[in-house]
Amino acid sequence: MNAKAKILVIDDEEVVRLSYLRTLASEHCNVQTVTNGQDAIQLMGTHAFDVVLLDLRMPGMDGMSVLKIIKERWPESEVVIITGYPGVDSAKQAVSLGAYDYLSKPAGPDDIINAANGAMMHKRWAIRCEQTMQAATVH
């Protein structure tokens, strides 16, 4: 993974945040964690993140609400939902709102690394395609 990858982990469980932080730090990422959606939205207002790992069930603002706000305000950020309560309906909703991926807990280190890498590759591909299209319209 690119050393410049900025990842935000949003989860109300400390053990989960620390686990993802340890896993991704070993991949040379810049990782920050928050415990709830409101703190995440505030942090994203001042810091750009490439990838967001987002829990669905949290006190206060739920993950779907956070996902919707992130994709409206920061569409360039890729979001991976990681939930302990997976379901077909929530997976469909997450994808329709713009989530890149949807994983169920417990997610192991390889799952987290693969999801974050995939999201970064997707983001880079989208940026490259956008630049190519802009260059084509200029010529």
CB 36 within 8 A of CB 55: no
- Token pair recorded at residue 67: 């996902």
pLDDT tens sequence across 68-87: 999 999 999 999 999 999 99
Q: What is the mean pLDDT of residues 90-111?
A: 95
Predicted confidence (pLDDT) at residue 57 exceeds the cutoff of 90: yes
Q: Mean pLDDT in the chain?
A: 90
pLDDT of residue 1: 45
Predicted confidence (pLDDT) at residue 3 exceeds the cutoff of 50: no
Distance CA 99, CA 81 (A): 7
| Domains of the chain as residue ranges with CATH | 6-138 (3.40.50.2300)
Beta-carbon contacts of 34 under 8 Å, excluding residues fewer than 6 positions away, are 8, 9, 10, 40, 43
Distance CA 57, CA 36 (A): 10
**Radius of gyration over alpha carbons of the chain, in Å?**
15
